[in-house]
Structure 1
C-alpha cells in the first residue's frame, strides 16, 4: 500500500516500475494523456502512476515525504552499461529571489535534497509510452558531493548578486550547473536584480557526468576504475575549493621537466604512449595510473595537456570531437555540442619545450568568458549556413585538393573548422549535396580552438 507521507514507501512503490513501460504500468486510460513537450514522460508518470496532478510548485512533488520526482533518459554503451543521455534539470533559478537566500534554507535545497529518480531507455523509434524503465531509486547527496554542490550554488548566487546573471555558464561550477531553460526566443529572457540587462532563463542542473555517477551507484556498477582527489571531505572545510586543492598538488613540480617529475614520483612511463601525460597528471594527483579522476568525471571537466613552443604559442590548435553534418544543421545553438563544450570547465596542464625537454609551467582551471562564447558562436553559425546551403567546396585544385568555405583561423579570434579524420574517405553524410562537386558525404571535420587564443587568453592571463 502506497503511503505518500513516507519517502521509503514511495520509493518502494516506484521500484515496481523497473523493466516496465508506462503503458504496462499505468493501464489503458494512459492513451488519453494529452501531454505535449519534452518533459511529458515525467508528467504522465506523476498523473497516471502516482495519481497526482503535475505542477511546477516550489515545493517537492511529494510534499509530506520531502521527495522530488525526476525522470531522465538513458543510453546503452556497447558493453551494456547505462549512461545518462543528458544533464538532469532541476528547478528554475528565480534571479529576483534567490540572492536573498542561504543554501540550507534555499528553494533549491527544499525541493531537491531528496530525489526519486526514474531512468528510462530513450528510443527515437518508439512512442514514449513504450520506453522501458530500467533504473529506479532514491538519491541523497553523499557528504563530499554536498560540500561541492553547496560551493557551486554559492558561486551561482554570487554571480547573480554581482549583476552578472546574464554571464552565467555551466563551466563556472563543478557538479551543479546553471543550464539554459526554455526556447531561445525573447520570452526566455528574465529580469535580474542588479543589472538592467536581461538574462537568459536558467535552471539548476546536475551535470551529465554527475548523473552518470548516480546511475553507476544505482546500477551498482564496479567503480574501481575511479580514483578520488579528495579522500577526506572535511578538507573542503579548510580549503576554499577543489580547484585550490588540485593546483596545490601541482605547485611543487613547477619548473621541473616531465622526466624529473617521473623520477621524483618513482615512475617508469613509456614516453611515446598516448597516455603519457594523463598518467603523469594522475601520479601528481596521487591516483593510480589508468584510473579516471572521480571529481573530474562527475564535473564533466575537459583535461587538456598543452605543449608550448619557446615563444609561448601552443604547438598545436586544440581539437574537439567531430560533428555530424546532419546533426549540425538540425540542432539549434542552445542544444549544440559546440556550445556545450565551450560552456565546459577545462583543466589545462601547460608544459613548455626547453630544447628537447618539456618543463611543467603551470596548471589552470578555466572556462570561456560569456563574451567569447558569443564570439565563437559566429563560427558555428557560419558552419551551419555553409552546410545547409550545400555550398561547401570553393574549388578543387589541379592536385585534387578541395578548398572549402568552412570558417578559417584568420576569420575568427577564437575558433575555426578543419578536418579531423583518418583520411579523406573517413566521412559523414551531408544533409544537402555539395553544389560544386555533387558529393553527398564529406570528410569528417571538427571545431578547433586557435593556438593563439590559448596563448593569449588562457596561458598568459
Structure 2
C-alpha cells in the first residue's frame, strides 16, 4: 500500500484503532513465533498485516516516500489510570565506526527516524500478545526537540570518537539514549580509537521522554517543546546552584529563606534542593526538560578529602519488581536511564550538618562493567525470592566488584533481613557503596 501524503497515511491509520493484533495478523505470525523469541513481532504484524508491506530490514524509513518510520509500542496503565510507556523506543543501531564521520543533520539516525508514526497498544502482563488492544496512534516529529536531541547525538559521538564507547551510558544524555542492543550480556564489538571491546548499542528515545510524548497524545503532532536554555538536567541544576557554590548549608538557607532555623533540620539539604531546583512534581509540571527526562536528585555529604561520608540509598524494594528478568526489569531501566544529579556538600570528618560547604553538582552514570555488577546484585535478589533462602541476599561485600548492595535504609538488625520475604513492601533498599561513590568522585574532579 502506497501513501502520497502524511495526511493519507494518518487517515488510513485511523482504521487500526480498537483492533487486536490477532485481528490484523494476516500472515499468522503469532502462530509461528513469540514476543520473547522475536522482539519485533508486533511491529511485523502491523507492517505486513495492516499496511501490506513485506517484512524487511531496509535502512530507509518504512514510508520512505513521505519520510515516516513506523514504530509499534506498548503502554501500561498506572493505578490512577495514567498511561506510561512500557519501555524506551529503540531506533537505529549505532555503528561506532561510522558515527564519528557523521554530521547529525545528515546522519542515518535523522534520515530514518526524523518522523515516526507510533502505534500504541495497551500492554497487559498476563494477556496473550495477540489480544493486546491497539488504542491509538501518534505522529512524532523530532524537530520539536531538535536542539536537545542534536546535543545528545554530539555527546554520544564524542564519547565514541575519544575511544570510550565502552563507557557509554544512557544517563549521559537527555532525550536520545544509547541503549544496549545485544543478544547476550557478553556480546561485544570493536570501536574506533581503542582496542577495548564495547557493548553493541542502538539509538533510542528514552522511556522518560516517551512518557512526555505519550502524556500529550495527539494524532497530528505533539506540542510539548523543551526549554532550549539548558539541554540537560545537570546543566539546569548547575545553573540554579551556581550562586551558592562555596557557601555553607546555613548560609544558603539564610539567603533563600531570610533567616537561620532555630534547629538545623536533618533534611536541610533536601529543603535547599527543593527550593533552588524545585520539587519533583512542580518541575515535571512547569519544565518540559524534566517532564521528558528520568532523573533523581541526590544529596551527598563528602569529606575534605573528597570521599563519600555515607552510601547512596534508593527507595525500598518491592518483591514484584523482581518478577521480570533483568533485561525487562524496572531496575535495569532505572539504573540505565536515570540521571543522578548529585549535590556534594563538603566538610572535614568532624563537621556537623549545616556547616558543610556546597562544593559542586555532578552527574553519576554507569558504564558497562558497573551495570554488569548491578545485574549480578539484581539476580541475587531474584534468586532469594525464588528459593526463599535469604542467605542469597546481596548484602555488603557479597561478591568481588560489587557496587550495589541491599541494606536497611533506617532501622538496623538482622531481623530486617529475616523478614525480607514477609511482605511485598520490604524494609530494605538498594544502596551504592562508598567505594563506588569514591571512584566516581575521583573521576568527576
Q: Give the deviation of 1:218 after TM superposition.
A: 1.0
Counterparts of 2:335 and 2:383 in 1: how far apart (Å)?
20
Deviation, 1:3, is 5.5
Other-structure match for 1:296: 290
Offset, 1:56: 1.9
User: How many corresponding residue pairs?
Assistant: 426
Deviation at residue 373 of structure 1 after TM alignment: 3.7
Is the CA contact (8 Å cut-off) linking 2:296 and 2:339 kept in structure 1? yes
Question: 3-state DSSP class of the match of 1:160?
Answer: helix
Q: Is the 8 A contact 2:180 2:201 kept in 1?
A: yes
Decide whether the 8 Å contact of 1:269 with 1:276 is kept in 2.
Answer: no
For 2:238, which of 242, 247, 253 is the aligned residue?
A: 247
1:116 is paired with a residue whose SS is strand
1:280 lines up with 2:280 in the alignment: no
Aligned-residue offset at 1:447: 2.2
Q: Could you tell me which residue of structure 2 aligns to residue 72 of structure 1? A: 73
| Mapped contact 2:295–2:339 kept (Cα < 8 A) | yes
Matching of residue 319 in structure 1 with residue 313 in structure 2: yes
Indicate how the Cα distance of structure 1 residues 167 and 315 shifts in structure 2: closer, same or farther if over 3 A, else same.
closer
Local SS of the residue matching 1:302: strand
Query: How far apart, in 1, do the equivalents of 2:171 and 2:113 lie?
Result: 21
Gaps of 5+ in 2: none
Work out the CA distance in 1 between the residues paired with 2:202 and 2:344.
34
Closer, same or farther: CA 444–42 of 1 in aligned 2, 3 Å: farther
Change (3 A) 1:356 1:124: closer
Q: CA deviation at 1:378?
A: 4.8
1:363 aligns with 2:361: yes
SS in 2 for 1:296: helix
Q: Which residue of 1 is the match for residue 396 of structure 2? A: 408
Other-structure match for 1:454: 437
TM-score, normalised on structure 2?
0.80
1:29 offset after TM fit, Å?
6.4
Deviation at residue 101 of structure 1 after TM alignment: 1.3
Displacement of 1:123 after TM fit? 1.2
Asked if the contact 1:427/1:441 (under 8 Å) is kept, the reply is no
Per-residue CA deviations over 1:355-395 (Å, capped at 9, x if unaligned) read 452543321122134444445555445555555555424xx
Contact 1:167/1:370, CA 8 A, preserved across alignment? yes
Contact map agreement 2:189 2:199 (CA 8 A) in 1: yes
Asked if the contact 1:415–1:448 (Cα under 8 Å) also holds between the matched residues in 2, the reply is: yes
Secondary structure of 1:64 counterpart = helix
Q: Which whole-Å deviations, capped at 9, do the CAs of 1:378-417 have from their partners, x for residues lacking one?
A: 5445555555555424xxxxxxxxxx76432586563322
Q: Report the 3-state secondary structure (helix = DSSP H, G, I; strand = E; otherwise coil) of the residue aligned with 1:291.
A: helix
CA distance in 2, matches of 1:70, 1:347: 31
1:107: how far off? 0.5
> What's the secondary structure of 1:357's corresponding residue?
coil
Shift of 1:60: 0.6
Q: Is the contact made by 1:392 and 1:406 (CA closer than 8 Å) also made in structure 2?
A: no
Could you give the per-residue CA deviations for residues 21-62 of structure 1, whole angstroms, max 9, x where no partner exists? 2344x3776577634422211110111111101222211110
Which residues of structure 1 form unaligned runs of 5+?
A: 394-403, 430-438
* Partner of residue 191, structure 1: 190
TM superposition shift of 1:418: 1.9
C-alpha distance in structure 1 between counterparts of 2:30 and 2:371, whole Å: 43
Relative distance call for 1:442 and 1:340 in structure 2 (3 A) is closer
Q: Distance in 2 between matches of 1:181 and 1:288?
A: 31
Q: Tell me what 1:152 maps to.
A: 152
Aligned-pair Cα RMSD in Å: 3.9
